[in-house]
Amino acid sequence: MTTTPAPAPWSFSIRTRIAALVVVCVLPASAFAGFLAALSHDRGRAEVEQVLTAAAQNLTFVVERDLGAVEAALLALSTSPSIDAGNLAALDRQARDVLAQSPGINLLHIDLNGQQLVNTARPFGTPLPRETLSPAMLAVRDTARPGVTNLFYGPVLKMNVVALAVPVLRDGRVVSFLAMSLDAKHLDAVLARHTLPAGWTVEVLDGAGTVVTRGGAAAGATGVGDGPHDEPRILAAAARQSRGVILHDGRHGQTELVAYNRSAELGWTVVVEVPEHLLNADLARSLWLNLTVGAVLLLVGLVLARRIGRDISRPIEALIQPALALGRGEPVAVPPLGLREADRVGQAMTVAGELLRQREHERDRAQMEAWTDALTGLDNRRHFDGVLMAEIRRLRRSRAPLALIMLDIDHFKAFNDGYGHVAGDECLRMVAGVVAAMVQRPFDLAARYGGEEFAVILPETDLPGAATVAERLREAVSALRIPHRASETGRVTVSLGVVCVTVEADTVPEEVVARADEQLYRAKSLGRNRVAFTVPTGPVPVGLAQDLD
């Protein structure tokens, strides 16, 4: 429970403090001006450093988001069944489709020995080279996580490029890589969409300190890709601390204030620089304004002290409830308060509330995309594995039954060969629609397990109940009447394996899936288009007795 601390006994109201300030104003004008000058300079410098730091962090996020979209596309492609089937021609087509919707200029599929299997920069079927894996590729192999290379000159593409690589994982092991090359000029365009104040410069450095791109006042400047950054102090500071602000002598002999932010995700550093003479000019203008206002206040301060205190305290007090609402995560809309600083705080609160809502929405959307199979709209294998593990842990305590149905489309390869992959995808979507419609309870889960195989988790469901659901699934798929020349029935059918377990201390997901798979294979061996399950100890659903051993 959050409590509001009581004010200190010596705390004073704004009105009291303004009255005291008026008394101070009668001191010699020089002391007053000096005080304002020092205060204005320090505050102005601190604000500029905060803005620079925020700009570096924001541009880092922009670069991470841009490369993150490429990473998401590669991760989606890494689940392609064409990789498992070794169908490089189909994978080449899919890679070209992905590339057409991405900012990349080349997409490669590489095995663990460095042999290129697919290279969209060359016609399919052209002999492809085998190359030594780069350090970035080795890191992807060892960590099983995506990675981005430093800037390098691509001999085939004949330009400065960076490459983002993701592992192709099968059963938790890295079996190959997918990598997309991006022209360094693409990042120029990314930075160009974000306007910086006049005279400001932004640079993006890779993990080796090489300038990948420049923007702002240095947009289009030479030196991109020429080697490590020309100010080693910036690189050394970024190596010690991920973000910060330093003062250094710039490339044109002028002193610059530099904010840097190193991305933990990419290992890259974004540097924002502003010449100090621009800061001094702004601070000089601010100082002149402060001195002018100070002279006016010195003349009329005693008369207006009470009124000014009232005009300041009311807008600040009006920010209390919006601040509390923001802390509770509620929407905030602060109306104009009649005080510039308070309005800026109010606007910042409004923007902060909107950013919080946007981030929650983006997080929810990213989580949904990470859990959803793109083709069928069902949950994917990753989400299935997580839910199955969670249900086993939960039901281990309650001792309630856990049922699992594994479903496989009969003769699906023959369907694909006979009708084409487009028809095959539509068949998968139609079967997925049937599976989704059969999952009625909010805690049940239907997922595409892989290829033409689907899975249904039915917590707290006994074997007769699960077998009944499975039989309804079988009948519903058959009722779709999807033509299938290679099927015994002339239409698309499915075989289903059902298992129901009482979760024990040593029960693991792999065991449950293996048992359901065993029944699925038994249904296949018995002639397909049927449900197979172990003999239950309770009553058997009407119509299913013929499937029992």
Amino acid at 175: V
Helix ranges (DSSP H) in 399-508: 412-419, 421-438, 463-479
CATH of 381-547, one of 3.30.1340.10, 1.10.1370.10, 3.30.70.270, 3.40.50.2300: 3.30.70.270
**Domain boundaries defined on the chain:** 186-279, 381-547
Q: Is the separation of the CB atoms in 451 and 81 below 8 Å?
A: yes
Q: Which residues of 13-50 are buried (b: 16+ CB within 10 A; e: fewer)?
A: ebbeebbeebeebeeeeeebeeebbeebbeebbeebee
Q: How far is CA 202 from CA 161, 196, 480, 537, in A?
A: 19, 8, 59, 71
Q: How far is CA 34 from CA 19, 284, 296, 536, in A?
A: 20, 13, 16, 91
Cross-strand partners of 167: 177
Q: How far is CA 430 from CA 244, 423, 442, in A?
A: 54, 10, 21
Domain 186-279 = CATH 3.30.450.20: yes
> Per residue of the chain (549 residues), what is the pLDDT tens digit?
555 555 555 556 666 766 666 666 655 655 665 566 556 667 777 887 888 888 888 888 888 898 899 999 999 999 999 999 999 999 999 999 999 998 888 999 999 999 999 999 899 999 999 988 888 889 999 999 999 988 888 777 778 888 999 999 999 899 999 999 988 788 888 888 878 888 788 888 888 888 888 877 666 554 455 555 556 777 777 778 888 888 877 666 678 888 888 888 888 888 888 887 776 675 666 667 766 766 676 666 666 767 777 777 777 777 787 778 777 777 777 788 777 877 787 778 777 777 777 766 666 565 566 789 999 999 999 999 999 999 999 998 888 999 999 999 999 999 999 999 999 999 999 999 999 998 888 889 999 999 999 999 999 999 999 999 999 999 999 999 999 999 999 999 999 999 999 988 888 999 999 999 999 999 999 999 999 997 543 444 443 443 444
Amino acid at 413: K
Question: Tokens 């917590």 sit at which residue?
Answer: 459
First to last CA, the chain: 61
Q: Is 256 a catalytic residue?
A: no
Residues 71, 203, 256, 452: which is the catalytic one? 452
Tokens of 109: 């599929």
Length of the chain: 549
Q: How many CB atoms lie within 10 A of CB 496?
A: 28
**pTM value?**
0.45
Using CA atoms in the order 95, 97, 103, 106, what is the torsion angle rounded to 10 degrees?
30
123 three-state secondary structure: coil
Q: Is the separation of the CB atoms in 413 and 478 below 8 Å?
A: no
Of the candidates 404, 400, 504, 384, the residue with the CA atom closest to the CA atom of residue 460: 400
